[in-house]
Homo-oligomer: A and B are copies of this chain.
Amino acid sequence: MTSPHEQNGQCVPDVFDAECSARHALELISGKWSVLILTALAEAPRRNGALLRRIGGISQKMLTQTLKDLERNGLVERHDLRTVPLHVEYRLSALGSSLSATLIALDRWAERNFPELDAARARHDAARLGPVAQTDS
């Protein structure tokens, strides 16, 4: 069939198309933990424990799970120095590296603009709770 996106896997790349693989790619790289893990690995190759310490609020389970997913999709490489005690290091693949600048830009934007978001939210919420009497302080 000559459908617009050839639903079998090949499609005109479009993140707006729910069936296109590009959408899955986008959801992977913009995932809650993916962004942080990829950014942390962009700073430097890291071990499991180091990642756990670097990324506040992540659980061992989600770290392992997300790392596996990223590795499966070729964004992260797992290097197992077969020693005892175990020593495993994660690093970005070339593909992963090609993404890091954009992800870091995203982080930077959040770090530079969150006060604006906070302020907007405060204003919005204040307006909803008390649309009247805003004459002082």
Q: 1/0 per residue A15-56: CB within 8 Å of B?
A: 111111111111111111001100110000000000000111
For the complex, is A73 an interface residue (Cβ under 8 Å from B)? yes
Give A28 to B56 CA distance when docked, in angstroms: 17
Tell me whether B24 and A114 are in contact (CB under 8 A): yes
Given contact pairs A24-B117, A106-B106, a sample of 11 additional A-B residue pairs in the complex whose CB atoms are under 8 Å apart: A15-B110, A16-B36, A19-B56, A22-B111, A22-B114, A24-B114, A26-B106, A29-B106, A30-B30, A30-B32, A74-B121
* A30 x B25 contact (CB < 8 A): no
Q: Decide if A124 is an interface residue (CB 8 Å cutoff).
A: yes
* Distance between Cα atoms of A30 and B72 in the complex (Å): 21
Contacts of A15 in B (CB 8 A): 36, 39, 107, 110-111
In the complex, what distance in Å separates the CA atom of A44 from the CA atom of B22? 21
Binary per-residue interface labels of chain A (48-74) against chain B in the complex, 1 for a CB within 8 Å, 0 otherwise: 000000111100000000000001111
Find out whether the CB atom of B114 lies under 8 angstroms from the CB atom of A56. Answer: no
Assuming A9-B118, A30-B32, is B56 touching A18 (CB within 8 A)? yes
A88 in contact (CB, < 8 A)? no
